[in-house]
Amino acid sequence: MTKTPSLASTAPLQADYEAALQLSGLVDDVQDASLLDPRPYRYVEGETICRPGDPADCLWVIVSGAIAVKLQDQTLFVRRRNEVVGEQHLVGNGYQRVYGLVAAESNVEVLVIDKARLEAHPEAGVIWRNIAKIISIKLRNASRKTATLGRQLADDTRILHAYTSQYALSRRLQSGGDHQADYLVERTVIWFSDVVNFSKYILKSPPERIADIVQRFFNAQTEPILDCGGHIDKFIGDGLMAFWVLSNPGEDTRKVCAAAARAAEQAAENVANISIGNVQLALRIGLHIGPVISGDFGSATRHQFTLIGPEVNKAARLEQAHSDDVVDGQPPLGDIRISPEFRRELNALATRRFCKRFVVRAKNMGTMDLYTA
């Protein structure tokens, strides 16, 4: 139960009480503030001053300490020394408290002023004007805070999109703020790519120059991936992992695989237009389709949404295959390598384009088939 302050009148006011009343703005232009009969009361930290649903029959002027304005368990505002609290719900008969007020410091002292005293005061009109001014100032400050929070939210959203994919964000939000993204088995197109022989330039060029080139060749890949409906999973050194999720049973698998193949061809063309001196860069890409486990993986303190499973490893091995790994087929290997499973989902024209079959040795996987253009 909320504590009811003592009804004993305290006159005259102590100097600190009178100063708090004057500085609060409640009694500006009021000749005799003592007629309000403000009564001091002390609270300790965590003690309830009022609860939602309590009758709005008084207001408080904070003499010392701080008071939290709460909605359920959320703190909306913290009011401090010489501020008025509880005034907004006084306007109207029978109004009840919407918010709770809780002492937010170890020693909180307030002056309690009854609504009946406000209404009976000979200068009630002036006091209500002052209350309106106090409410107006608070609303203006709340609007500014809301605008600031809106800008911060927009900035945070941009940062989130910069560090994770839209698909990962949607999965994360569906799980709620207190939980990691649920684990799902999903049929997925997996992409791995890597810039050929770029590592030899890293320690020989100025860092700023390398950073510029890296951004250029990642832009050259991410734009076609996103344009074709894919999601960026992560950047791995100068490599990239991306994916397309076939989340609906009736989704056109051929359409998704065709989009991934178009993205691969456009990305390879884009990267080929980037040169270091007179050396043209090249891109290797592995494309595979199969079931993966997706969700948040990591430690108790740090995790990341990603895909795991043997099919992910197979896509990575497709990209990593070199001519020295070829067991059957005539090297060189093409830059875009697709698995037989991925090739079966392409139309006849694309199938004819990716017609060169190779058998290659793959680390920890024995041999595997792949096709290139």
pLDDT at 168: 76
**Strand pairing partners for 313?**
none
Phi, psi of 24 (to 5 degrees): -70, -20
Cβ-Cβ contacts under 8 Å for 114 (sequence gap 6 or more)? 37, 57, 58
pLDDT digits (tens, 9 = 90+) for 210-233: 899 999 999 999 999 999 999 999
Average pLDDT estimate for 254-275 = 95
- Closest of 117, 118, 116, 152 to residue 132, by C-alpha: 118
| Distance in angstroms (rounded) separating the CA atoms of residues 221 and 370 | 22
Highest-confidence segment of 41-45, 154-158, 251-255: 41-45
Highest-confidence segment of 1-5, 79-83, 94-98, 234-238: 79-83
**Strand pairing partners for 231?**
243
Please name the residue ranges forming H helices in the chain.
Answer: 15-23, 115-120, 124-163, 166-175, 199-202, 207-227, 253-272, 310-320, 340-343, 348-353
Angle of helix 253-272 relative to helix 207-227, nearest 10 degrees?
150
Cβ of 243: how many Cβ atoms within 10 Å?
Answer: 23
**Cα atoms in the 13 Å half-sphere on the side-chain side of 14:** 9
| Distance in angstroms (rounded) separating the CA atoms of residues 49 and 366 | 72
| Distance in angstroms (rounded) separating the CA atoms of residues 247 and 257 | 14
- Closest of 227, 232, 229 to residue 253, by C-alpha: 229
pLDDT digits (tens, 9 = 90+) for 45-95: 999 999 999 999 999 999 999 999 999 889 999 999 999 999 988 876 567
| Lookup: tokens for 338 | 């697709």
pLDDT at 7 over 90: no
Average pLDDT estimate for 229-246 = 93
| Distance in angstroms (rounded) separating the CA atoms of residues 301 and 137 | 42
Cβ-Cβ contacts under 8 Å for 255 (sequence gap 6 or more)? none
pLDDT digits (tens, 9 = 90+) for 192-202: 999 998 888 87
Average pLDDT estimate for 118-138 = 93
Distances (CA, A) of 348 to 44, 253, 268, 344: 78, 14, 22, 9
Cβ-Cβ contacts under 8 Å for 153 (sequence gap 6 or more)? none
Average pLDDT estimate for 234-263 = 89
| Distance in angstroms (rounded) separating the CA atoms of residues 340 and 338 | 7
| Lookup: tokens for 284 | 């290797």
pTM above 0.75, yes or no: no
- Closest of 362, 221, 199, 237 to residue 283, by C-alpha: 221
pLDDT at 160: 63
pLDDT at 180 over 60: yes
